[in-house]
Structure 1
Amino acid sequence: MSGTPEGFTYRLRKNGDVELLHHGRLATVLRGAAAARFLIDVDSSDPQELMARVTGNYKHGNERTAKKHPRNRHR
């Protein structure tokens, strides 16, 4: 199992909005300043990680802590 995000794509609408898709399904729409900032950042960083971060579909850093929680110990 890979820890890197995958399956994200984006489309630029005629009105300047950016659609972020995950496995072909709409995840979120960025408008205005957020769309402009995304288009600048997508060229300078890893696009998959950026889209995962923008959509909220990324690891939050608490997976190890959650694994040790009493209700999750049997998993």
Structure 2
Amino acid sequence: MDNIDKRKRLEDNPFSYQITKNKTVFLEYHGKQIKILKGKDAEKFLERIEEAENEKEVQLILAKITGNFKRGNERRK
């Protein structure tokens, strides 16, 4: 696990998610919505989250599922 997050960016817990009543999952990065999962994708995601052993694994799952959405030209708050 240490080899994956060499720059220690996941330690700040930049990713979060919210689940609605109808099992739609909203993925966020620093509070901004970046992806929506519905149906089987949402179910698969929730299963993976339940299997995670700690918060760092949850952050890694969230980072992987959001994919390569950052391109380096985003502004920081």
Scaled by the length of structure 1, what TM-score is found? 0.67
Alpha-carbon deviation of 1:54?
0.4
List structure 1 runs of 4+ shifted beyond 6 angstroms: none
* Structure 2 unaligned regions, length at least 5: 1-6, 70-77
Q: Give the length in aligned residue pairs.
A: 58
Is the counterpart of residue 55 in structure 1 residue 43 in structure 2? no
Trace 1:1-75 onto structure 2 (pairs within 5 A): 1-2=7-8, 4=10, 6-45=13-52, 46-57=57-68
Partner amino acid, structure 2, of 1:27? I
- For the residues of structure 2 that align with 1:9 and 1:2, how far apart are their CA atoms? 17
Query: In structure 2, do the counterparts of structure 1 residues 25 and 41 end up closer, same or farther at CA, with 3 Å as the change threshold?
Result: same
**Quick check: which has more Rg, 1 or 2?**
1
Scaled by the length of structure 2, what TM-score is found? 0.66
* Structure 1 unaligned regions, length at least 5: 59-75
Aligned-CA RMSD value: 1.9
Identity across matched positions, percent: 31
Q: Secondary structure of 2:40's partner?
A: helix
